[in-house]
Amino acid sequence: MVPTLLRQWRRLALAALCAAPLAGCAVNPVTGQRQLALVSESQEIQIGQQAAQEVTQSIGLVQDQALQDYVQRIGAALAARSERPNLPWTFRVVDDPTPNAFALPGGYIFVTRGLLGLVDSEAELASVLGHEIGHITARHQVTQISRAQLAQLGLGVGSILFPGTAQQLGGLASGGLQLLFLSYGRDAERQADDVGFRYARTQGYDVREMANVFRALQRVGEVEGQSPLPSWLATHPAPAERIQAVQARIDTANLPAGLTNRRAEYLQRINGLVYGENPRNGYFREGVFLHPELRFRMTFPQGWTTQNLPQAVTALSPRRDAVIQLTLSGDASPEAAAQRFFSQGVQQGQTGRETVNGLPAVVGYFRAQTEQGVVDGVAGFVTYGGRTYQVIAYTSGGQLSGYDRTFRQVIGSFAQLTDPQALAVQPNRISVVRLDRSMTLTEFNQRYPSVIPLTELAIINGVADGSSVLQNGSQVKRVVRGTA
């Protein structure tokens, strides 16, 4: 009864809104039906552009221009045949190991390198890009933003998407990343699948391979706690349901002969791509965080839950009542960085200049009022290598005495990294091998060993298991250990 009443209320509200002056409805370019839209196309593009800049800065792009151009070329060709060809369509590969893809308003689409390592052909990639294009052509984000505006009783888009959080505490919440967590309804996801299927088919891709993506995602194990992005599986309907839907489309599509998957071209394009976590961006070894590119190290407390995110290294206490966060403050001196931090609505306590392992530093206590209540903490600013690093450690008000020593030890552990082995560490990479004879995947792994388990090797090659036969002349992925 309640869901029925809620649906009726939404229909009445939508009808009233569309009938009002400055109507908040538009025609869905994909369906031709009326759609809630409190955001104009120019505003949609502006929101997406700003969010895309944040995503690029916070997550980072894969530094391979040829690969970026390749994905842009595939996506742009699909979008050019869509219902909204004139949007500023932009397709980028972000440097994140989690298999994922996401769309931002106005034509901005991102895929992760983790997804590129998982999919096995250009046709599979095109089906993913087509799905994300479908979200934009059907203006699904605009509908979600408009609903959020209504829920916020008329607050502007900027207020909803870019709220004034406690950034002085180094919070990672940002407009771009918040947009990634706008969940679509199942109907919207089905529509995006259907539209993406059509876009890929129009470009001559073998759309039967769309189901392969869902099968791979269904099998892949999540690397928990390594990505700031919501996983594809967390934000989309169950893969089994989607596989059935794709098969139903195929059965009724009367597909022509000559559809292409362009697997060989795709595999050569991702040959050498970083696979899994990239230690050059920092990694943990027995509670010590090591960053070979920036050449520093810092020790975190034993038993704390740690994460290395693109813009911060974080640690959460076992009781989940204390946080430590390491970020870059900029190129300013420790004094300037501290002054900027304490000038942002933070109550300053005892503060002074120190030396941390021979490096100039400023360390001080603070108190801040957050939406969850008062927090007390220690802030440290250490300058090294022309950069100033900010360590913010805090807990609930009144509990600082129990964590003070731990916080100070962490700040005091910041030091130059000198271990040659740690400095030289390299990421694992995909290596594509062309077979000179037929063999099973197990035989392939024995002849061309990978650093990943056989089950994972099967997933990224789109085969069932080690007994699967790989044909003579085919190209097969393996993952090799990085070398200096």
Tens-digit pLDDT profile for residues 427-484: 999 999 999 999 999 999 999 999 999 999 999 999 999 999 999 999 999 999 987 6
Are 442 and 407 found together in one domain? no
Rounded to a whole number of angstroms, the distance between the first and last alpha carbons of the chain is: 64
Question: Is residue 82 one of the residues assigned to a domain?
Answer: yes
Q: What CATH number has the domain bearing residue 313?
A: 3.40.1000.10
Are 319 and 175 found together in one domain? no
Which residue, of 368, 387, 417, is where some domain finishes? 417
CA pair distance 218, 49, nearest whole angstrom = 32
| Secondary structure class of 171 (helix, strand, coil) | coil
Two structure tokens written together for 244: 């059935």
| 134 close to 195: Cβ distance less than 8 angstroms | yes
Closest CA to 457 of 434, 480, 439: 480
pLDDT greater than 80 at residue 287? yes
Distances (CA, A) of 217 to 222, 234, 255: 9, 11, 25
Band of residue 69 on the pLDDT scale cut at 50, 70, 90: very high
Question: Is residue 5 one of the residues assigned to a domain?
Answer: no
Are 133 and 191 found together in one domain? yes
pLDDT greater than 70 at residue 337? yes
What percent of the chain is modeled with pLDDT above 70? 83
Two structure tokens written together for 181: 């967590």
Are 371 and 240 found together in one domain? no
CA pair distance 120, 214, nearest whole angstrom = 12
> What does the chain come to in residues?
484
Dihedrals φ, ψ of 35, to 5°?
Answer: -145, 140
Mean pLDDT of the 93-115 span: 94
Question: Is residue 17 one of the residues assigned to a domain?
Answer: no
Mean pLDDT of the 373-396 span: 96
Residue 183's region, left for phi above 0, alpha for psi from -120 to 50, else beta, is beta
Question: Is residue 7 one of the residues assigned to a domain?
Answer: no
Q: What is the pLDDT of residue 331?
A: 73
Mean pLDDT of the 374-389 span: 96
Computed over every residue of the chain, the mean pLDDT equals 85
| 123 close to 250: Cβ distance less than 8 angstroms | no
Are 464 and 342 found together in one domain? no
Which residue, of 220, 239, 267, is where some domain finishes? 267
Are 71 and 163 found together in one domain? yes
Where would I find the H helices in 107-185?
A: 113-118, 122-137, 140-151, 157-161, 175-180
Q: Per-residue pLDDT tens for 121-176?
A: 999 999 999 999 999 999 988 887 777 666 554 333 333 333 333 333 333 334 44
- DSSP per-residue string spanning 30-88: TT-SEEE--S-HHHHHHHHHHHHHHHHHHH-B-S-HHHHHHHHHHHHHHHHTSS-TTS-
- Which amino acid does the sequence have at 256? P
Higher pLDDT pick, 284 / 188: 284
Residue 424 buriedness (CB in 10 A; 0-12 / 13-18 / 19+): exposed
Are 283 and 184 found together in one domain? no
Band of residue 214 on the pLDDT scale cut at 50, 70, 90: confident
Band of residue 242 on the pLDDT scale cut at 50, 70, 90: confident
Q: Per-residue pLDDT tens for 247-286?
A: 888 888 888 888 999 999 999 999 999 999 999 999 999 9
Band of residue 186 on the pLDDT scale cut at 50, 70, 90: confident
Report the DSSP pairing between strands 108-112 and 90-94. Answer: parallel
Q: What is the pLDDT of residue 161?
A: 33
Instruction: Provide the domain limits for residue 303.
Output: 279-417
Question: Is residue 1 one of the residues assigned to a domain?
Answer: no
CA pair distance 417, 298, nearest whole angstrom = 9
| 113 close to 274: Cβ distance less than 8 angstroms | yes
